[in-house]
C-alpha cells in the first residue's frame, strides 16, 4: 500500500493520493501516491506473511504461494473467483471517469507483481513476489449492488480517519457506490453496536481529527458472529483497517466467508506507525511520527547546545524497528548517534558509545543521541539481569532503554571520567493522556513541554473519552 498521508501534524493530508478500488481483486485497494516506486497492496485478507521485520506466522492455507519452474514465487492474494469461479465480471466504472479515461495504464495488469527483493545479482533466483494492487479493468460487483462496510480495529495511528474518508469518497465518487456502513468500535462492533451510515458528506471533515471516527477496540471477538452479521446485513465488501492482530482476524473472517461461499470481498488495510512493512512504499502515519520526532530532536538540540557538555537523549517509538528513529535522524541533521533495535550497540571500550560521546563532547561540546524504544534490549536485559516478561498478547515487554542509558552515561562521566555532563532526556511516546502532570520514575520533575495531536489529537471522543495521542515530554531529573 502506498498511502501518502502528508507529513502535516494534523493528519490533514495536503497531498492525498488517489485511491483506487479494484473490485477485481477482492482485496485490492491501490493507494497510489505520485512518484511512487511501485505499488503494493493492502492485500491482506490472506494475512501478512511478513509484517516488516516481524515475521508473523500465518498458516499456509491462508494464502496461496505458487512456485514456477524458474523459482518465481508469488505470494498471492486469494480472490473471490477462487471459490466462486463462475462470477460474472463488469467493466470498471473508472473507465468512464473523466480523470481516468485519458490516463494511459490506469489499470493494473493481472500479471503485475512487486518483487520482495530489489537488489539482485546475475545469479539470483527469481524469488518472492507479491500481487500488485490497483484498479483492474474488470470488476466483480455492480456499483448499485454494493453494500460496503468499514471497520477500524486495534491501536491508533495518525491518518486512520484519512483512510476511512478516502474509502468512502473513493467508493462513492469513483465507483458510484452509495451504500456504505461504518462499524463502530472494532471487530466486536459488528454484533454489539448499530452501524453508522457513511457518505462523503458525513466523512468530509474527519481527517482533521485524530483517533478514529469509527472508534476502535482491542481484545477478542467472535469470527462466526461477525460473518453472521455480514450475511444478515447483506454486506458484500468489508474494509478492515488495523495492525497485525487485526489482519490475523481479517484472514479468519475471509476464511469463514470462503467456507460459506459468500460473495463478500474482504480488504485488509495495514496500519502501523512504524513503517515496518517491507513491500509497501510507506505506511500511513509514519510521516507524522517522523515529524513529531523531529520536534523532540530539535528541542533536545536547542537545550544541549546552550550548555557545556550537553548530552541530549531522545527516545522515540519503534519497538521492533528503527525507521522512525532513522528517518527523523536523517531529516533533522542535529543527531550525532542513532540507536535502533536492528543494530546492537555496546557502551565500554573501543568503538563503544562512551568513547563516541567523549569524542563528540571534546570536539563539539554537546551530543544528541536518538534511541528507538526497542534499541539494545538484549544488552540491557543482560546488564540488569532482567527476566523476559510478556504482556497478555504474548509480546515481549520492553525494558526502558531511555532512563537506563541516561543513568549509564551519567555514571560513566561523573564517576569514571570525573567530568560533569548536562543531561536532557526527551521522550516521544504513545500513551494514554493522563490529563495531569506526573512524576518521573525517580520522583524527578517531568515537564511536558509539548502536547500535540498525533495518534489521536487531544480531544474528547464522541463518547467523551480521552483519545490516545503521541506526546512529547522532557524529563529534567534533578539527580542527573
Ligand atoms: N491472532 C489473532 N487472531 C484473530 N484475531 C485477532 C488476533 N489478534 C488480534 N485479533 C483481533 O484484532 C483486534 C485488534 O488486534 P490488536 O492486536 O489489539 O491490535 P492491532 O491490530 O493494532 O495489532 C483485536 O480486538 C482482536 O479481536
Ligand atoms: O504505547 P503503545 O500502544 O504500546 O505503542 C507503542 C509501540 O507501538 C508502536 O507505535 C507500533 O504500533 P503500530 O505498529 O500499531 O502502529 C511502536 O513504535 C511503539 O513502540
Could you tell me if 261 and 319 lie in one domain?
Answer: no
When comparing pLDDT for 228 and 125, which is higher? 228
DSSP letter for each residue of 229-259: HHHHHT--EEEEEE-HHHHHHHHHHHHHHHH
Confirm whether 171 is domain-assigned: yes
Could you tell me if 113 and 244 lie in one domain?
Answer: yes
Average pLDDT of the residues in 414-421: 91
Rg over CA atoms, the chain: 24
Confidence of residue 334 (pLDDT cuts 50, 70, 90): very high
Confirm whether 34 is domain-assigned: yes
* Distance separating alpha carbons of residues 450 and 433, to the nearest angstrom: 12
Confirm whether 130 is domain-assigned: yes
Residue-level pLDDT at 125: 86
User: Residue 52 belongs to a domain with what CATH number?
Assistant: 3.40.50.450
Average pLDDT of the residues in 187-196: 97
Q: Which of 179, 244, 274, 281 does the annotation list as catalytic?
A: 274
Confirm whether 478 is domain-assigned: no
pLDDT per position as a tens digit, 55-66? 222 333 445 666
Residue from 322, 323, 324, 362 nearest 344 by CA: 322
Could you tell me if 372 and 420 lie in one domain?
Answer: yes
Residues of the chain with pLDDT > 70, as a percent, come to: 74
Confirm whether 214 is domain-assigned: yes
Confidence of residue 44 (pLDDT cuts 50, 70, 90): very low
Could you tell me if 303 and 222 lie in one domain?
Answer: no
Cα–ligand 1 centroid distance for 183 (angstroms) = 16
Number of domains present in the structure of the chain: 2
Pick from 270, 297, 320: which residue ends a domain? 270
Residue-level pLDDT at 436: 31
* Distance separating alpha carbons of residues 339 and 328, to the nearest angstrom: 12
Confidence of residue 121 (pLDDT cuts 50, 70, 90): very high
Confirm whether 440 is domain-assigned: no
Residue-level pLDDT at 212: 97
Could you tell me if 43 and 130 lie in one domain?
Answer: yes
Could you tell me if 21 and 152 lie in one domain?
Answer: yes
Could you tell me if 265 and 332 lie in one domain?
Answer: no
Phi and psi dihedrals of 298, rounded to 5? -60, -45
pLDDT per position as a tens digit, 199-221? 999 999 999 999 999 999 998 99
Average pLDDT of the residues in 367-374: 97
**270 ligand 1 Cβ < 6 A:** no
Q: What is the pTM of this model?
A: 0.78
Could you tell me if 319 and 422 lie in one domain?
Answer: yes
Pick from 216, 238, 270: which residue ends a domain? 270
Residue-level pLDDT at 102: 76
Could you tell me if 182 and 322 lie in one domain?
Answer: no
Pick from 236, 270, 304: which residue ends a domain? 270
Confirm whether 281 is domain-assigned: no
- Grid coordinates representing 150? 468499514
Give me the chain's average pLDDT, please.
Answer: 78
DSSP letter for each residue of 163-211: HHHHHHHIIIIIH----EEEEPSSTTHHHHS--EE--TTTTTTGGGSSS
Could you tell me if 371 and 318 lie in one domain?
Answer: yes
When comparing pLDDT for 309 and 456, which is higher? 309
Average pLDDT of the residues in 49-60: 28
The secondary structure of the chain in percent helix, strand, coil, rounded to multiples of 5, reads 30, 20, 50
Could you tell me if 265 and 397 lie in one domain?
Answer: no
Q: How many residues does the chain have?
A: 480
Nearest CA, atom 18, ligand 2: 318
Residues of the chain with pLDDT > 90, as a percent, come to: 61
Confidence of residue 340 (pLDDT cuts 50, 70, 90): very high
**Distance of alpha carbon 76 from the chain centroid:** 22
Cα–ligand 1 centroid distance for 340 (angstroms) = 26
Q: Which residues line ligand 2 (CB under 6 A)?
A: 155, 157, 243, 272-274, 317-319, 373, 430-431
Domain with 375 in it: 286-431
Confidence of residue 50 (pLDDT cuts 50, 70, 90): very low
Question: Of the residues 151, 218, 395, which should be mutated to test ligand 1's pocket, given the most ligand atoms within 8 Å of the CB?
Answer: 218
Residue-level pLDDT at 446: 34
Residue from 284, 319, 456 nearest 397 by CA: 319
Give yes or no for residue 456 having a pLDDT over 80. Answer: no
User: Residue 290 belongs to a domain with what CATH number?
Assistant: 3.40.50.460
Q: Is 274 considered catalytic here?
A: yes
Confidence of residue 416 (pLDDT cuts 50, 70, 90): confident
Confirm whether 238 is domain-assigned: yes
Give yes or no for residue 181 having a pLDDT over 90. Answer: yes
Residue-level pLDDT at 273: 95
Could you tell me if 59 and 198 lie in one domain?
Answer: yes
ipTM, interface predicted TM-score of the complex:
0.94
Amino acid at each position: 500500500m502506498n498511502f501518502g498521508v502528508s507529513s502535516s501534524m494534523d493528519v490533514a493530508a495536503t497531498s492525498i493520493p488517489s485511491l483506487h478500488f479494484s473490485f477485481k481483486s477482492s482485496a485490492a485497494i491501490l493507494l497510489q501516491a505520485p512518484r511512487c516506486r511501485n505499488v503494493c497492496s493492502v492485500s491482506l485478507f490472506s494475512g501478512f506473511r511478513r509484517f516488516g521485520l516481524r515475521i508473523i506466522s500465518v498458516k499456509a492455507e491462508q494464502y496461496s504461494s505458487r512456485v514456477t519452474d524458474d523459482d518465481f514465487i508469488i505470494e498471492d492474494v486469494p480472490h473471490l473467483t477462487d471459490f466462486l469461479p463462475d462470477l460474472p465480471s463488469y467493466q470498471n466504472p473508472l473507465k468512464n471517469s473523466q480523470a481516468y479515461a485519458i490516463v494511459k495504464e490506469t489499470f493494473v495488469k493481472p500479471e503485475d507483481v512487486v518483487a520482495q527483493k530489489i537488489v539482485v545479482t546475475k545469479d539470483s533466483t527469481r524469488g518472492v513476489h507479491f500481487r500488485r494492487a490497483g484498479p483492474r479493468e474488470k470488476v466483480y460487483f455492480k456499483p448499485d449492488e454494493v453494500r460496503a462496510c468499514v471497520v477500524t480495529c486495534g491501536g491508533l495511528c495518525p491518518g486512520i480517519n484519512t483512510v476511512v474518508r478516502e474509502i468512502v469518497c473513493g467508493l462513492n465518487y469513483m465507483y458510484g457506490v452509495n451504500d456504505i456502513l461504518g462499524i463502530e468500535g472494532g471487530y466486536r462492533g459488528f454484533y454489539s453496536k448499530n452501524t453508522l451510515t457513511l457518505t462523503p458528506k458525513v466523512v468530509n471533515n474527519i481527517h482533521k481529527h485524530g483517533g478514529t471516527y469509527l472508534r476502535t477496540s482491542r481484545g477478542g471477538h467472535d469470527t462466526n458472529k461477525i460473518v453472521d452479521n455480514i450475511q444478515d446485513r447483506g454486506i458484500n465488501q468489508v474494509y478492515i483497517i488495523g495492525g497485525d492482530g487485526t489482519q490475523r482476524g481479517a484472514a479468519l473472517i475471509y476464511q469463514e466467508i470462503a467456507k460459506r461461499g459468500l460473495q463478500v470481498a474482504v480488504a485488509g488495510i495495514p496500519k502501523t506507525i512504524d513503517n515496518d512493512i517491507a513491500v509497501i512504499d510507506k505506511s500511513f502515519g509514519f510521516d507524522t511520527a517522523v515529524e513529531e520526532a523531529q520536534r523532540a530532536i530539535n528541542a533536545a538540540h536547542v537545550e544541549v547546545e546552550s550548555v557545556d557538555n550537553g548530552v541530549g537523549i531522545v527516545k522515540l517509538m519503534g519497538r521492533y524497528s528503527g525507521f522512525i528513529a532513522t528517518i527523523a535522524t536523517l531529516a533533522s541533521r542535529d543527531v550525532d548517534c542513532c540507536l535502533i533495535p536492528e543494530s546492537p550497540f555496546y557502551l565500554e571500550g573501543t568503538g563503544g558509545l562512551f568513547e563516541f560521546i567523549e569524542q563528540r563532547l571534546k570536539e563539539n561540546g554537546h551530543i544528541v543521541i536518538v534511541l528507538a524504544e526497542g534499541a539494545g534490549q538484549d544488552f540491557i536485559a543482560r546488564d540488569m539481569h532482567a527476566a523476559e516478561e510478556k504482556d497478555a498478547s504474548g509480546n515481549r515487554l520492553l525494558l526502558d532503554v531511555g532512563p537506563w542509558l541516561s543513568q549509564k552515561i551519567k555514571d560513566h562521566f561523573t564517576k569514571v571520567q570525573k567530568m560533569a555532563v548536562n543531561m536532557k532526556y526527551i521522550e516521544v511516546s504513545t500513551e494514554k493522556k493522563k490529563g495531569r502532570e506526573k512524576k518521573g520514575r525517580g520522583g524527578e520533575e517531568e515537564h511536558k513541554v509539548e502536547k500535540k495531536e498525533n495518534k489521536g489529537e487531544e480531544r474528547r471522543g464522541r463518547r467523551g473519552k480521552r483519545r490516545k495521542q503521541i506526546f512529547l515530554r522532557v524529563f529534567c531529573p534533578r539527580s542527573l
